[in-house]
Each structure stands twice: as structure tokens, then as C-alpha cells.
Amino acid sequence: MIQFLWPWVLAAIPLPFIYRRLLRNATALAQSALRVPAVDDFSIVTQGAGTGAGSRRAYWMALAAWLLFLLAAARPQWLGEPIEVPISGRDLMLAVDLSKSMQEVDFVLDGQRVDRLTATKKVVADFIDRRIGDRLGLVLFGTQAYLHVPLTFDRSTVAQLLEETVIGLAGSSTAIGDAIGLAVKRLRNNDADDKILILVTDGANTAGVIEPQRAAELAAAAGLTIHTVGIGADEIMVRRLFGSFRYNPSRDLDEKTLRAVAESTNGRYFRARDVAELESIYAEIDKLEPVEHGGEHFRPTTALFPWPLALALLLGGVTVVLVSGRK
């Protein structure tokens, strides 16, 4: 359906008719006082009066332009069908490790070997897309932790800014404790029913000013639940000049600390050795933190004023050309 945002503007429609009537009365009054010495002079006035078809056409085009201008000024809008917007009342912060170790190429995505951050981006982006009704935020951490995206319902922006991140952006080390502390700071005073942090890392706490266990205590006191995800393969083959050998690329992963952090906040620790496990982890988190159904409704609106405005300007321009040509 169509609605007008400023319908009172349409009250100005009669103004041209009122003006024309007043002008006609004023002209008749002025002409009644004229003294013409010879009747022949009327023929000159009649020939230049311009009251033919061209004048009438210009008049009606100007009137149409006026009506279209008022129609545009009334701000017409098209109201779409009501759309339900689930509101979960949950604030969910994502903390992603960008340390140098995330460049380890031990994941396979779509048949190609990729680094850990690339695999994380793909899986987390799918997770973000499913979190309808949650307010999402993004914390990035390396040597330092910083808030990359504040809490928002705009899931596409969170996914886009995550996709644009690069390894080493926050430094080469891993400040897990600072990342948790920053999330606590951003979520502590929120009124959300549930406050969740999902922390993804492939290493141990090697930087920062606060220990992960201490940060977890602060999180628990603030009512924050932390789910931790340790990523990285247990074993990969490496080819060298004199042959191949196996080694563990996740030897620096501190699973003990990650598990303790999760358990102290009533969360869970997950281990992702490949993309399939990483996807199953986020599916499991979906079950632990289900998306709410039901909520508020809104009707999408589309502004329609550019169309009558464009026609009004076009007709107005044509009218000016006609009048100028006649003169």
C-alpha cells in the first residue's frame, strides 16, 4: 500500500486556481478603467494576447507540474508486507585470533589447502548469517586486543569486516586474557538476557596484561558465558629436500587453559582439527545458544517521491520553453 509521510502538503493544491481567480479579477478591474482613443487599437492587443492552443497547453502543463511537485513533497512511500524481526535479547561477541601462527596451512577448504584464518572466516561467516535476532560484536586480538565491531544487529557488516581482516593486524603474539577482558568490558553493563563470548585461537597466552584465568573470573562475575575453540591439525606431512616427516602444528595450543576458561564461565571448550570439525562446533553452539523465534514486526518502506519530482521538473522545463518561445 501507499502512504504519504507529509499529507498536509496536498492542502496547497488549490493555490494556482485561487491565484488565477484573483489575477483575473484584478485584470478585469484594471481594464475597466482604460480609456482607448480609437477602437482600432484593440486589434493590436488581441493579436499579441496569446490565448490560443499553445497558451492553454502551457497552462495545463504547468498545472500538472505543480500537482506532481506537491505529490513529491508529500513524501509518498510504498509499504511492503510486514516482516517479523526476531529479537533474542542476547549479546554475542566473537573474538578471533590474528596472531602469526594463524597463517599455518593445515586446513582443507573446497579441496584446497588454506591457512587457519581463512578456514575460520568461512565457518564463522556462516555462523554469523544464522544468528538472526542476536546483537553481534567482533574482537580481534594478537599482541593486543581491540574492538573491531561494536555490538550491532547488522550481521552483514560484521561478516564483511571479519572477511577483511589479515594475519598480524593486531601483532604476532597472542593476548587471550586481554581479549576476554575487553569482551567483559563491552558486555558487563549491558541489559541483555544472555551475554556470550566465542573465542577462537590456535595458541597459548603469550602477551597482554591480564592472565586468561583472571579474565575468566571477571567474566563469570559479570554473567558472561565463554565458549572457547582451539583450532589446528594434530599432525601434517611436511616435505623437505631429504624426504618427508610428520609434525604437530598445534603443539603450542594451550588446551588446558582454554578448557578452564570455558568451564569457569559455564561454557564449553571445543577442538577443531579440520573444517568439518569447525563447522560441527558452530552447529553445536547454535544448539547451546538457540536463535529465538518471534519478536517485533516492521514493514519495509520504499520512497516514491523521485518519480513525481522528476516528472514535475520535466514538465516545468517544457513549460518554460513553450512560454519563452511564444514571447
Tens of pLDDT, residue by residue over 75-85, are: 999 887 766 55
Buried b (16+ CB within 10 A) or exposed e, 259-294: bbbbebbebbbbbbbbbebbbebbeebeeebeeeee
Which of the residue ranges 10-14, 53-57, 230-234, 315-319 would you say has the lowest mean pLDDT?
Answer: 53-57
User: What are the φ/ψ torsions at residue 154 (nearest 5 degrees)?
Assistant: -80, 85
Q: Is the pLDDT of residue 34 over 60?
A: no
211-265 pLDDT, tens digit each: 999 999 999 999 999 999 999 988 776 676 666 667 688 888 999 999 999 999 9
Residue 178's CB is within 10 A of a number of other CB atoms, namely: 26
pLDDT of residue 138 exceeding 60, the answer is yes
Reported as a pLDDT band with limits 50, 70 and 90, residue 96 is very high
Tell me if the domain spanning 86-296 has CATH number 1.10.3720.10.
Answer: no
Amino acid at 88: S
Task: With both helix axes pointing from N to C terminus, report the angle between 306-326 and 53-73 in degrees, rounded to the nearest 10.
Answer: 150
DSSP annotation of 191 reads -
Of the candidates 132, 201, 211, 117, the residue with the CA atom closest to the CA atom of residue 165: 117
Which range of 131-140, 218-227, 306-315 scores highest in mean pLDDT? It is 218-227
Distances in whole angstroms, Cα of residue 37 to Cα of each of 8, 15, 34, 178: 51, 38, 10, 101
Tell me which of 10-14, 35-39, 239-243 is least confident.
Answer: 35-39
Tally of helices (H runs) and strands (E runs) in the chain: 10, 15
Which of helix, strand or coil describes residue 240?
strand
Greatest CA separation found in the chain? Answer: 122
Q: What residue ranges in the chain does DSSP mark as E strands?
A: 2-4, 76-79, 83-86, 90-97, 107-109, 112-114, 135-141, 145-152, 194-201, 224-231, 236-240, 243-247, 269-272, 295-298, 301-303
Amino acid found at 132:
I
> What local confidence, expressed as pLDDT, does residue 288 receive?
81
Report the percent of the chain where pLDDT is more than 90: 42
Q: What is the pLDDT of residue 110?
A: 86
Average pLDDT over residues 307-320: 87
In this predicted structure, which of 65-74, 79-88, 135-144, 202-211 has the lowest mean pLDDT?
A: 79-88
Name the 3-class secondary structure at 37. coil
First to last CA, the chain: 45
Where do the domains of the chain lie? Answer: 2-33+41-80+299-326, 86-296
**pLDDT computed for residue 176 by the predictor:** 96
Residue 245 pLDDT? 66
User: Which neighbouring-strand residues pair with 114?
Assistant: 107
CB 156 within 8 A of CB 128: no
137 backbone φψ class: left, alpha, beta (φ>0; ψ -120 to 50): beta
CA–CA distance, 23 with 98 (Å, rounded to integer) = 76
In this prediction, residue 49 carries a pLDDT of: 46
Q: What residues contact residue 62 under an 8 Å CB cut-off, 6+ apart?
A: 16, 315, 316, 319
The pLDDT value recorded for residue 37 is: 55
pLDDT at 53: 62
Is the C-alpha dihedral spanning 52, 53, 59, 60 positive or negative? positive
Average pLDDT, the chain: 83
Nearest to 135 by CA among 297, 291, 314, 325: 291
C-alpha grid cell, residue 34: 482604460
Nine-digit cell string for 171: 601483532
Paired with 226 in beta bridges are: 197
Residue 44 has what pLDDT? 46
Please give the residue that has the higher pLDDT: either 2 or 142. Answer: 142
What pLDDT, on a 0 to 100 scale, did the predictor assign at position 48? 46
